[in-house]
Amino acid sequence: AQRVTQPEKLLSVFKGAPVELKCNYSYSGSPELFWYVQYSRQRLQLLLRHISRESIKGFTADLNKGETSFHLKKPFAQEEDSAMYYCALSAWGGSNYKLTFGKGTLLTVNP
């Protein structure tokens, strides 16, 4: 069975500081990994996916298969980055692909 673990429920940093949101997964095959973000009073939306290897809003995430991790990083946090972040894994769930989410990390960027 697939599982996603986000060890930090809360993360608080100051504006301009680097930020790293941790994500570890367990899955025996080759999963697809995503980061979703939910800003205050907005719907959950895709931030980035590992397959596209792109940087969105200054965020990057590298899939480390050896450590089964997909940590989200940004070198200089901004106040508008304050949001709930969810790591997600898409993998075969028995009869179709299933998207499994971690419990989320609430990031607060202080001025």
Partner 1 sequence: KAGVTQTPRYLIKTRGQQVTLSCSPISGHRSVSWYQQTPGQGLQFLFEYFSETQRNKGNFPGRFSGRQFSNSRSEMNVSTLELGDSALYLCASSPGRMNTEAFFGQGTRLTVV
**Which positions touch partner 1 (CB under 8 A)?**
32, 34, 43-46, 49, 51, 86, 90-104
HSE-CB of 109 using CA atoms within 13 angstroms: 20
CB 110 within 8 A of CB 12: yes
Nearer to partner 1, 4 or 109 (CB): 4
Nearer to partner 1, 8 or 15 (CB): 8
Tell me whether residue 90 is exposed, middle or buried, using C-beta atoms within 10 angstroms of its C-beta: 0 to 12, 13 to 18, 19 or more: middle
The minimum distance between CB 15 and partner 1, in angstroms, equals: 26
What is the β-pairing status of strands 10-14 and 105-110?
Answer: parallel
